[in-house]
Amino acid sequence: MGAMDEMMEAMMGSMSKEERMAMMGTMMEKFFAGMTTEDKQKMMEQMMPKMMEGVNMMEMMPKMMMGMMGMMGSGESGGMTGMMSQMMARGQGKGMPMMPHMMTQMMPHCLNMMLPGVPKEERVDFVLNMMTTLMEQGSAGMSEEEKSEFVAKILERVTS
């Protein structure tokens, strides 16, 4: 074990789980501060395959999404929940808050990686469920005319 590993072990070993989580939030904030969106996307693309090894995405994805939806409303400032809440609120200066923006980038990538490994029967159910959710939530707050255009675009894409 190198000197850096020994130092990290000594520091981390004496900290409680809560202290480590709080420190992680602070470190992540500093770590990501100087990165561009492109840097973050490249990093995610490189890390995803390693992070996904041995993970059952069919079980994890609904839990992850529900957890993120639950965190949207929470105003806690500590640990992972606080970090997610800050990411939801902070955003990239203009437009969408950071967490929804990250999800719109990550979800298609995750689905491309996980769906081929899902058994056909489960895949069909999952896709139908996702399509229903995407249609309902994607058209939320739209006028009837906007919804019609939205559905027409989807049908055009699916049938081409």
Counting the structural domains of the chain, the total is 1
Predicted pLDDT of residue 156: 94
Residue 142 resides in a domain:
yes
Residue 44 resides in a domain:
no
Residue 46 resides in a domain:
no
Predicted pLDDT of residue 145: 96
- Average pLDDT of the residues in 77-95: 53
Predicted pLDDT of residue 140: 92
- Residue 144 lies in domain: 119-160
Model pTM above 0.75:
no
Exposure of 94 in the CB half-sphere (CA atoms within 13 A): 0
Q: How far apart are CA 147 and CA 157, in angstroms?
A: 15
Percentage of residues of the chain with pLDDT beyond 70: 69
Please say if the pLDDT value at position 157 is more than 80. yes
Predicted pLDDT of residue 1: 62
The token duo for 9 is 């072990």
Predicted pLDDT of residue 92: 45
Residue 136 resides in a domain:
yes
Residue 147 resides in a domain:
yes
Residue 64 resides in a domain:
no
Please say if the pLDDT value at position 56 is more than 50. yes
Q: How far apart are CA 8 and CA 131, in angstroms?
A: 45
Q: How far apart are CA 54 and CA 3, in angstroms?
A: 31
pLDDT grade for 146, boundaries at 50, 70 and 90:
very high
Residue 154 resides in a domain:
yes
Least confident range of 40-54, 62-76, 127-141: 62-76
Residue 66 resides in a domain:
no
Please say if the pLDDT value at position 49 is more than 90. no
